[in-house]
Structure 1
Amino acid sequence: MTDDRSFCIGIALEGVGWHPASWSHSSVADPAELFTADYWVDWARAAASGGIDFVTLEDGLSLQTDQFGTAADDAGRRVRGRLDSVVVAALLLSMSDISEVVVTRNVTHSNPFHVAAQLASLAAIGPGRVVWRPQVSADARDAVVVGGTSTPALEPEDVYVPPRIARRLRDLFRDAEDYVHAVRRLWATFPGEGLGGGGKFWQPEQVRPATLEGRPRYPAAGPLTVPVGTPPSVAVLAHHALEPYRLGAAVADRLFLTPTSDHPIPELLAAFHQIEELTPDATPTLMYADIAVVLGDSDDHAHDRLARLNDAAGAPWSTDTSIFVGTADRLADELTNWRDGHGLSGVRLRPAVLPDDAERIIHDLVPLLRPPASGAANSDAGRL
């Protein structure tokens, strides 16, 4: 099959990996390296040259923890803190050829006007290459950091019980829906043709306040201070629960599903489409899977790597999605089934350790999914 890029492959960049003990197994020697431009630009360039379609950048108001809802410890297993996702995105868009950068931005404790302007600025740097992932903050520590409105206190086990998420976070997700609509209204207040279009440098008649209907939660009227040529797409990370799915159906151009052994891809797709049918003005949505990966030369090698990581962390790795442990060949087969059997448009892969797992994704997995265009490769080389 030719390389038509119909199945998109993304890498979720996060520190030196997503496993809580990734730092103890990474070849990165100096934690300060994670706070340099070169570190992130080098990864974006490596991803682009290796056939990766997009990278994602995380955001957060408080320090990362090993488990949701717990305080950061001093065990030294993880580098705490992040660079600002918008600043990093500006670097990647201007200094690499990566096709898309998915920028996570908090919507619970921020202002729609500011976020709209930030993303519009990124869209000016990389037209058509910016995707926004609005992030609902369910961590009460975030409100403390910014002095914002308190959010419901969640225990770690609440994250994995859909009814609890739905009950406790309903208002936050409804607010997030209004927030995304507000940002999109603001993007429409200053279209790109308002600046430099029609042979004129400035066309003030193109720039106007937003039209506010009803009683919106975020009545940001604008106009925006930054012209918007190509509005960013919106991606939603949706755990298997009613409210995240409602948000995805209402505002998302793409949805990142989080399959588990209890909730496989077919079940998640069916559940989302049921909610989509009940959502007024639902937007067309591309479906992606979002999984963590631990890759190895063999299945035994991959499981041994995970065991050593878990030993270093002092507990088994528990995430909000499934953890694939095995070879690139088996992962390629799984992704092929998801695409051909269930119509998924892409996948976001969370590498357990950087550089190890990301390099295996780029060098071992991508060639299996993207056969050479020349057609010279044998038929076993490509599956998608």
Structure 2
Amino acid sequence: MQPFLKKVFLLILLMVSAVAQADRVKDLATLAGVRNNQLVGYGLVVGLDGSGDQTTQTPFTVQSVVNMLTNLGVQVPPAGNLQLKNVAAVTVTATLPPFARPGQPLDVTVSSIGNAKSLRGGTLLMAPLKGADGQIYAMAQGNLLVASNGVVGGGAGAQPNLLATGRIPAGATVERAVPTMLGNGEYVQLELMQTDFGTANRMVTAINAQLGPVAAALDGRVIQVRAPMDSNQRVAFLARLENVELTPAAVSPKVIINARTGSVVMNQAVQVEPCAVAHGSLTVTVAPQQGGNAPAANAGEAEVGGAVLRFGKAASLNQVVRALNAVGATPQDLLAILQAMKSAGALKAELEII
């Protein structure tokens, strides 16, 4: 039996604390209408040391350079065969936060869309950033910050850094504000990040207990709260509202499996019913606890090639997965077993594969 740390299978157990802890309203819900907006643009990075696009394979880079030079008053001969090694075509992305005003700086991410080998040392020329409505909301320009080392790690495990992406801190300036309304009339609405009727009810109870009878649940996700009409008073009211503490309802049992890496994430609510699974040379048995407090002798076990590991009554998926890993189950074995347990009704949880 190989050591645990040398297993191919990677297990990640995310256990929810058994002791209920209070969360704030701001941790569980957002204010309707107060949201980020994604911006995207196209631009050119210049000043690269021969690591730019191969223009014979990226004609859009040449076209962009010609258009830029024409706008600057430089006439390029139509038959000219430009061999540009120090230029790269890139996409520029940024996030416009709520209440952003013209003149506010934004961080931007610049990513190559051609075949440039590296953007290190380059400078982004002025690029407009547009929203989903096609309007320009910011302008970006500046020197790129890219990882300085060509490789990370050492020896045979050395891996190259991703040099085709860089960032420009405060590299964009907001040119247009997005109107953000703090509610509709005398009401504001809270939207739970996850729909849950129990949490919605508890949030209404907690808000009304601390701020008076001002909140009412519209459904399992939206809570309507009456707020002052004066903007200054409304901001002060919302500051108190978002810090109201409550204990959310118990989470639903859920198991998330990454089929590529073999990682498994589960919460404490996951349980398994008595079952038996045979998968190739792997046999798993989960049996209920016999009378009294003493578990059955074979209450839970996993066997591979004659090696048997007993792990108690195996009342939770946590114990089952640990046992499978200990006897050498591969990620593919685990995926097949959990899916079979879910289909048979033995796995009492939502199974999500990513």
- TM-score greater than 0.5 by the shorter chain: no
Q: Which of the pair is proportionally richer in helix?
A: 1
- Higher relative CO (CA 8 A, sep ≥ 6), structure 1 or 2? 1
Tell me which structure has the larger Cα radius of gyration. 2
Q: TM-score normalized by structure 1?
A: 0.22
Q: Which of the pair is proportionally richer in strand?
A: 2
Q: TM-score normalized by structure 2?
A: 0.23
